[in-house]
Amino acid sequence: MVVDTSAILAVFFNEAHAEWAAGQMEARAGELSMSTVNLAECLIRLRDRQPQLADALTEELLSSGIRFVPPDVEQSRIAADARLRLPLNLGDCFAYALAKAEGADILTLDRDFARLDVGVVMPRLR
């Protein structure tokens, strides 16, 4: 399962659906992957929103058991195509590309993923 930035940030910042996201990640421990593009996105947001906790949160994320995957050329092509045809930001495009490449679902809180051609695991959002 590919973890989107939104799920990680919800847990770290105790946002809506944080417990749900944490439970999903716990239930799939050992199966989680994340694009290093999304990792960079998480690290930027951690430093921006919680600078005093950024180092500790970064270490927690890096030691979480998530497998961090650098994008290859094919994933870059998938992400570029997705960016031009879907309502996704750049980070979302790389989460999508990794899911496509691995034949995996995406764990997210972002409604923009709802109409993709990969499996999406998200709570019922209002």
Burial of 63 (0-12, 13-18, 19+ CB in 10 A): exposed
The per-residue pLDDT for 114 is: 83
Residues with Cβ within 8 Å of 77's Cβ and at least 6 positions away in sequence, in order, are none
The per-residue pLDDT for 12 is: 96
Encode the chain (126 residues) as per-residue pLDDT tens digits: 999 999 999 999 999 899 999 999 999 999 999 999 999 999 999 999 999 999 999 999 999 999 999 999 999 999 999 999 998 999 999 999 999 999 999 999 999 888 889 999 999 865
Q: What is the pTM of this model?
A: 0.94
The per-residue pLDDT for 87 is: 87
The per-residue pLDDT for 115 is: 82
Angle at 12 between CA 124 and CA 47, to 5 degrees: 130
Q: Taking a C-beta distance cutoff of 8 angstroms, is the pair 107, 4 a contact?
A: yes
Enumerate domains of the chain plus CATH numbers.
2-110 (3.40.50.1010)
Q: Taking a C-beta distance cutoff of 8 angstroms, is the pair 21, 106 a contact?
A: no
3-state SS of the chain is CEECHHHHHHHHCCCCCHHHHHHHHHHCCCCCEEEHHHHHHHHHHHHHHCCCCHHHHHHHHHCCCCEEECCCHHHHHHHHHHHHHCCCCHHHHHHHHHHHHHCCCEECCCHHHCCCCCCEECCCCC
